[in-house]
């Protein structure tokens, strides 16, 4: 619920960014952003000094999980989020603006709808996934393998449609909405499994390591999004996305089911 709400709120940023580009231009938009960030920085300096401090220091080597399941899930997460950002961060907005001729507001609106819709599906995922006899959603290893395998085909199909010369606008805008729905289910099941595989005493370190892998995947996706769009266009980015998801699917085959004693439920 929290993650879904966060992503829905992030979508508003695309509306605001597009509106600023449309109404005031690039440089003034950056100045406005810097001013807002300055206010946030000053507000942070007013917070209590002890807030966020931990009782003991953690050595760097302790950041890496000792759990095989967490390591495998983190590796899958790395490629999963790389598969999204390799087309979403740079390639998609440039394609919509340069190739399809959309205006800033149209591009920002589409991307905002995508992110907000993604957050809503994440929020609803627990109600839509299969429940056990107690009414809890308790995904197993095969659950994430199913959703990841399904996701693998979507960017590849969009790329094939674009290569065939058919309606690129419909293929991209419609196909990537389907990608977002399936991706949201993947993310929701991942968020369950990382807790199901974690002992209570290791929650903060394991979840931190897991989201570090998440950020690493996003960094890789962002860098490759610009590079592959320059070299191969959106089609190339979509093929790389499909390969990244395939890598995530192959990695998840090494996951066992969570222990039956786990009390975590979606």
Q: What is the residue-wise DSSP string for 166-206?
A: S-HHHHHHHHHHHHHHHHHHHHHHHHHHHHHTS-GGGHHHH
CA atoms within 13 A on the CB side of 43: 6
Instruction: Flag whether 263 is in a domain.
Output: no
Of the two residues 247 and 19, the one the predictor is more confident about is 247
**pLDDT interval class at 207 (50, 70, 90):** confident
User: Taking residues 146-172, what's their average pLDDT?
Assistant: 90
Q: Is the pLDDT of residue 262 over 60?
A: no
Match 């996706």 to its residue by tokens: 221
Highest mean pLDDT among 16-20, 25-29, 155-159: 155-159
**pLDDT interval class at 62 (50, 70, 90):** low
pTM to 2 decimal places: 0.84
pLDDT computed for residue 125 by the predictor:
75
**pLDDT interval class at 3 (50, 70, 90):** low
pLDDT computed for residue 17 by the predictor:
84
Q: Is the pLDDT of residue 165 over 60?
A: yes
User: Do the beta carbons of residue 148 and residue 241 sit within 8 Å?
Assistant: no
Instruction: Flag whether 266 is in a domain.
Output: no
Domain count, the chain: 1
208: CB partners within 8 A, 6+ apart = 63
Instruction: Flag whether 84 is in a domain.
Output: yes
CATH number for the domain that contains residue 176: 1.20.1250.20
pLDDT computed for residue 133 by the predictor:
52
Instruction: Flag whether 128 is in a domain.
Output: yes
Domain residue limits at 210: 2-252
29 in the Ramachandran plot: left (φ > 0), alpha (ψ -120 to 50) or beta? Answer: alpha
**pLDDT interval class at 54 (50, 70, 90):** low
Instruction: Flag whether 259 is in a domain.
Output: no
Instruction: Flag whether 257 is in a domain.
Output: no
User: Taking residues 174-193, what's their average pLDDT?
Assistant: 89
């Amino acid at each position: 619920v929290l993650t879904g709400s966060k992503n829905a709120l992030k979508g508003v940023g695309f509306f605001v960014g597009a509106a600023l580009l449309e109404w005031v231009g690039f440089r003034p938009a950056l100045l406005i952003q810097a001013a807002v960030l300055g206010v946030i920085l000053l507000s942070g300096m007013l917070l209590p000094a002890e807030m966020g401090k931990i009782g003991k220091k953690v050595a760097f080597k302790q950041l890496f999980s000792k759990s095989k399941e967490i390591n495998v899930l983190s590796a899958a997460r790395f490629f999963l989020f790389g598969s999204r950002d390799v087309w979403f961060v740079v390639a998609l907005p440039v394609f919509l603006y340069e190739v399809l001729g959309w205006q800033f507001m149209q591009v920002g609106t589409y991307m905002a709808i995508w992110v907000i819709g993604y957050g809503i599906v994440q929020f609803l995922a627990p109600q839509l996934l299969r429940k056990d006899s107690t009414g809890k959603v308790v995904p197993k290893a095969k659950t994430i393998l199913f959703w990841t395998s399904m996701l693998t085909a979507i960017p590849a199909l969009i790329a094939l449609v674009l290569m065939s010369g058919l309606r690129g606008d419909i293929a991209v805008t419609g196909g990537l909405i389907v990608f977002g729905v399936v991706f949201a289910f993947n993310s929701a099941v991942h968020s369950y499994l990382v807790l199901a595989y974690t002992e209570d005493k290791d929650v903060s370190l394991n979840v931190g390591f897991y989201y570090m892998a998440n950020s690493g995947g996003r960094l890789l996706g962002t860098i490759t999004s610009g590079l592959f769009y320059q070299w191969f266009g959106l089609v190339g980015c979509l093929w790389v996305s499909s390969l990244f998801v395939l890598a995530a699917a192959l990695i998840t085959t090494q996951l066992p089911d969570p222990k039956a004693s786990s009390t975590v439920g979606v």
